[in-house]
Structure 1
């Protein structure tokens, strides 16, 4: 089972990538599709809803800004009733709101009640106007404590603050992180994986490609070939079965998606 837990249908440089994404879906068993943030949020959420109806392998996360969107239980129930819409994605840094803002807490309460996952997409590249202070994973500690049944996913390991993410993964049963790597950034990949291994939280990592920034096949090749990258060094390695378990994890089951 290969589930790509971090993909997008659009990017600022290439626009809409519907056909390219459908090609990606042929190479995985399932994938999470995250709607984008910003003034086009409603349009992108509508595009996502349409795409989910056309693509059986895709599971959607609607983009929500709790400061200016409807966050009532009724609204989230409506989201959940859409075909394979399984959660919401928040861009706290880019949209300039604290993850524990009172309005955000109302959203989490409704999401927990409706069984929706909350995906925090607070990761590079940041725009010049982003508030990086709101991207720090430790801010989610309060959220995880207040809503222990809320399933939380931290995007891209919470980079550049991944050490905070590792602490949260070890502390809270309901917190997970997607290991979306840049295959060309070898030293970054090494530190992410070795940090998770030494922290004993490899079972909390979900595979992701970050498409269109990378392709799942390339990311899988990098992860499974992790120890080969270290062949001519004296750096510690990670058991191959631990690496394979990330790639082959049934993230749908892990996150309670039926």
Structure 2
């Protein structure tokens, strides 16, 4: 039986024309095994058959991993499959028109959240260019998902992927919902302790199951810090699929069978699989309503 989940909160959308030569140059550093490179709306709809909802966003990582999409693509996918997709905008604060693009994405295209990769755009979370972004999102009750953790891309300053930099922003903007993608790997301890301290910071575990020892340790640590209930399910499709991501979570304890090592509880496993961001990330404003 195929493992299921309620929502995949981390799905990348782009068409073939958005993939640049750099993407193929770097591909050897991505996880081993066969990966799908089809991430257009129709391919996503098929890939997301085993989830009720999928949060989708494009990437603007042209100079980091060689993908440069646009918010219109995301909005068109939501329009085509409104019962499956919820769209997030992407903000790149290096662009001179980034705030105009953000206003357009939210106010004209109707996207419901924002994605940002500080490590991929080379912009620190404390950069003044991000202040109007934070202010706008907080004012309009719009969640912000951020890539937190390392990457295989050479042109991506690794220091900018550390979740420790999130806390000052969370304190300054206490009503801004912030989601730390990939649980800050390999600095997952930082992500967990920040999420534990700050009520407006959440975690998601996309693209982690294929490093099972690291994944196991971060889930055990999250339980020890009583933060496991703040973790949401995601895949990072097309870099990982729904079934393999769900199976990797369900079977996380197999690697410690026959040992005295602690087990990740069934309660934690099920709470992640059936996590519902639409009840949490928007304060009193469910985007599905």
TM-score, with structure 1 as normaliser = 0.91
* Contact in 1 for aligned 2:39/2:238 (Cα 8 Å): no
* Contact in 2 for aligned 1:67/1:104 (Cα 8 Å): no
SS of the aligned residue for 1:29 comes to: strand
The match for 1:61 among 78, 81, 88 is: 88
CA distance in 2 between partners of 1:134 and 1:226 (Å) = 29
Q: Deviations 1:28-49 (Å, cap 9, x if unpaired)?
A: 1111112102348874322112
Residue 24 in structure 1 maps to residue 50 in structure 2: no
* Contact in 1 for aligned 2:192/2:227 (Cα 8 Å): yes
SS of the aligned residue for 2:236 comes to: coil
CA distance 1:43–1:229, change in 2 (3 Å): closer
Q: What is the Cα deviation at residue 15 of structure 1?
A: 5.6
Listed as ranges, the gaps of 5+ residues in structure 1 are: none
Which residue in 2 is equivalent to 1:47? 73
Q: Which moved more, 1:169-178 or 1:8-17?
A: 8-17
Listed as ranges, the gaps of 5+ residues in structure 2 are: 25-36
Q: Deviations 1:176-230 (Å, cap 9, x if unpaired)?
A: 1111143332211111211111111011101111111111111112212223332
Which residue in 1 is equivalent to 2:257? 231
Aligned pairs for 1:148-227 (under 5 A) are: 148-227=174-253
CA distance in 2 between partners of 1:237 and 1:43 (Å) = 41
CA distance 1:131–1:177, change in 2 (3 Å): same
CA distance 1:203–1:148, change in 2 (3 Å): same
The CA RMSD over aligned residues, in Å, is: 2.2
TM-score, with structure 2 as normaliser = 0.82
* Contact in 2 for aligned 1:76/1:114 (Cα 8 Å): no
* Contact in 1 for aligned 2:150/2:184 (Cα 8 Å): no
CA distance in 1 between partners of 2:171 and 2:153 (Å) = 30
Aligned pairs for 1:66-215 (under 5 A) are: 66-72=93-99, 76-82=102-108, 85-215=111-241
The match for 1:246 among 254, 263, 272 is: 272
* Contact in 2 for aligned 1:49/1:82 (Cα 8 Å): no
Q: How many residues align?
A: 257
CA distance in 1 between partners of 2:209 and 2:183 (Å) = 15
